[in-house]
Amino acid sequence: MKIMTTFAKTKTMEQISDTIEDKKMKFDSLLQILALISEEGYSIEGIAAKTKITERTAYRYIKTLKACGFGIVRKNKTLFLDKVPKTFAEIAEKTSITPKEWQLIADAVEASDDPLKEGVMLKIKERTNKTSSGQTVIRKQENINIQHLSTAINGKKQVILKNYSSSNSKTISDRRVEPFAFRNGNHAVICYDVDKKAVRTFKTARIESVQICPEDWKFESRHKAAQTDLFGMSSDTLIPVKLRLNMRAANLLREEFPLSEKMIRPFGQNHFIFSSDIRDLKGIGRFVMGLHDEIEIIEPKELILFLRRHAERIMKQYEEPIMKHPKNLSSPNPKENS
């Protein structure tokens, strides 16, 4: 009798263990389903295939999620996550890293000289592809471009940047380049332009697609990236800049350019001094012009002259009523419509 009791207890413990394992598997499947339908949307067949469960089980799990307060909508045969329960959203908000926090981490890593930097930046890029609310932070195509460029860099391969949209030349064309470094949180890639025989910086968001070529690097000795300043501008010269900011301007500078934190110090009540070396007036000029009544330029005089010339061009552009030239609205250059 004692032997039978011991055997019965042992079997009961095994059953409990199986039950816990079953619940864990179910919980894992529910989380996988939430991840699938919150990112892109999936059909029942797709959910079953991805989570390795039957379609019948997938239907049952969808019902369970709806019963728990998850809003799941169907468009044709595709299921999407429309809303989440309040408690679930609160947990996600408290435990997730915000886009601004991710940007701060990315900027800190970008400033590092560690050889692991590129791999870490790629992981940050992949991690921040979606916010907790499911809104896209970084375009999917840009992520694909970065992955292909990273593969080319590691393999020392040439690539073709398909239909690159250049703001400087105002053209869209293919560029054969040798990519060798990322900048600005992977939003820019430093390449040697094979045709122009010069190092260039390309914005990853302006590349339609990246085609990896079979040819290896041929100009590695010329892969020398120019130094960039806080505003992403590159040059061989350094220009000392000092600005007096009110609180709003200082906060916006910190938010838009997190690395500026160490360059800002308090000055009196609700005012701050920004002091740094920059490499081109254009980057900081754009920032100052947008907040011209909240920033005082202490130095250099060249920045004041730069803004004056820019303001004069704006005044000249709008010195006549715009309605006299309605065609100008479709073209930045009136001569193009003449």
Measured between alpha carbons, how far is 80 from 72 in angstroms, rounded to an integer?
Answer: 6
User: Does any domain span residue 192?
Assistant: yes
Q: Domain boundary at 38, 67, 88, which?
A: 88
Domain assignment present for residue 165? The answer is yes
Residues 128 and 202 in one domain: yes
Q: What is the mean pLDDT of the chain?
A: 78
| Domain end (from 53, 88, 123) | 88
- Whether 174 has a pLDDT exceeding 90, the answer reads yes
Whether residue 214 is found in the same domain as residue 244: no
**Rounded to whole angstroms, what are the CA distances from 102 to 30, 90, 108, 194, 329?**
27, 19, 10, 34, 38
* Judgement on whether residues 253 and 167 belong to the same structural domain of the protein: no
What residue numbers bound the domain in which 291 lies? 239-313
- 165 lies in the same domain as 246: no
Cα–Cα distance between 241 and 306 in angstroms, integer? 13
Assigned domain for 233 exists: no
- Where are the strands (E) in 9-101, listed by range? 71-75, 78-83
Instruction: Tell me whether residue 318 is in a domain.
Output: no
> Which residues on neighbouring strands pair with residue 15, listed in sequence order?
none
The CATH number of residue 45's host domain is: 1.10.10.10
* Cβ-Cβ contacts under 8 Å for 264 (sequence gap 6 or more): 245, 250, 253, 254, 272, 273, 274
Mean pLDDT confidence for 306-324 = 80
Does 47 reside within a domain? yes
pLDDT at 246: 94
Question: Are 7 and 79 in the same domain?
Answer: yes
Q: How does residue 318 score in pLDDT terms, banded at 50, 70 and 90?
A: confident
Structure tokens at 139: 């375009």
pLDDT of 194 reads: 94
pTM of the model: 0.43
Q: Is the pLDDT of residue 288 over 90?
A: yes
Q: Are residues 309 and 202 in the same domain?
A: no
**What is residue 1's predicted lDDT score, i.e. its pLDDT?**
46
Answer whether residue 325 shows pLDDT above 80: no
Residues 109 and 203 in one domain: yes
Based on the domain organization, do 128 and 199 belong to the same domain?
A: yes
Q: What does the pLDDT average to over 285-299? A: 93
Domain count, the chain: 3
Instruction: Classify residue 319: in a domain, yes or no.
Output: no
The model's pLDDT over 146-165, given as tens digits with 9 standing for 90+, comes to 889 989 999 999 999 999 98
Q: Given pLDDT bands bounded at 50, 70 and 90, which one contains residue 186?
A: confident
% of the chain residues with pLDDT over 70:
70
Distance CA 263, CA 110 (A): 17
Please check whether residues 267 and 299 belong to one and the same domain. yes
pLDDT mean over 10-22: 57
| pLDDT at residue 4 tops 80 | no
Q: How far is CA 301 from CA 168, 241, 284, 304, 309, in A?
A: 26, 10, 14, 5, 13
- On whether both 80 and 104 belong to a single domain, the answer is no
pLDDT at 274: 95
pLDDT tens for 222-261 read 998 767 788 878 777 889 999 999 999 999 998 888 888 8
Would you state the pLDDT for residue 162? Answer: 93
Q: What is the mean pLDDT of residues 24-53?
A: 81
82 or 222: which carries more pLDDT confidence? 222
Which of 155, 187, 222 finishes a domain? 222
Residue 330 lies in a domain: no
173 and 109 inside one domain: yes
123 and 155 co-located in one domain: yes
Residue 161 in domain: yes
Across the range 309-328, mean pLDDT stands at: 72
Q: Which of 85-89, 247-251, 285-289, 290-294 has the lowest mean pLDDT?
A: 85-89
Span 4-27, mean pLDDT?
58
Question: Would you say residue 111 has pLDDT above 80?
Answer: no
